[in-house]
Each structure stands twice: as C-alpha cells, then as structure tokens.
Amino acid sequence: LERIWAMSDNFISVTPKTGNQTTAHHANVGGVRLALEGLRNGHPIGFFPAGAMSFGNARGEVLDRPWTHSVIRLIRKAGVPVYPVYFDFRNSQFFYGLG
C-alpha cells in the first residue's frame, strides 16, 4: 500500500517474517520507532497484526494468520486503547492461492 503515491505518506512500511525466519527484518526497527513516536504524539496507528496476507485452506476458507508477538509487544508498550477494525473484503481464490 505504501507504493500508492497518494497514500504513501500515511503508511509505515515493514517487512514481515517469512517461512522459518526467526528474527524480524532489520528495516522494521525504524518502523516500530515511527509507530511509537506517532502514538506518543496522539496519532492513531492502524496495524495489520498478522503481518502477512491471509491464506486459503483446503476447504476454501480464507483465514488470517496469528498475530505476531512483535505487534502485541508494541501495543502493550504504547499503553494506548486498541480498537479492532474489520475490513469486509475478499480477493479471488486465485489471489489467495498465490499466497
């Protein structure tokens, strides 16, 4: 989403962990700092807490991945209210198959 010119100023880009990777991408440290700074300055921050796109299972259901521990730690460290938001949106089965 940060690649969309009109929206780029409103996103803090991070690189999610993939596969068996055990450590976060080093570029994410700056993103975490920017998020905490924004929260301390009273700005709302939205997260995609799973850190990766949803996936389809064998029954054709689209499932979100578990929330990452780093997002949970960031929320706790910030000490601010959390409001869950649900986006009612679906991509094609082909799209989820690529994930």
Residue at token pair 């940060």: 2
Distance CA 41, CA 58 (A): 44
pLDDT tens-digit profile, the chain (99 residues)? 677 788 777 777 777 666 555 566 666 778 888 888 888 888 888 877 777 767 667 787 777 778 778 778 888 888 888 887 777 777 777 776 665
What local confidence, expressed as pLDDT, does residue 43 receive?
A: 87
Domain boundaries, the chain: 5-98
Distance CA 34, CA 31 (A): 5
Residue at token pair 């991945």: 65
pTM passes above 0.85: no
What local confidence, expressed as pLDDT, does residue 23 receive?
A: 61
What local confidence, expressed as pLDDT, does residue 35 receive?
A: 85
What local confidence, expressed as pLDDT, does residue 21 receive?
A: 58
Residues in CB range of 53: below 8 A, 6 or more apart:
96, 99
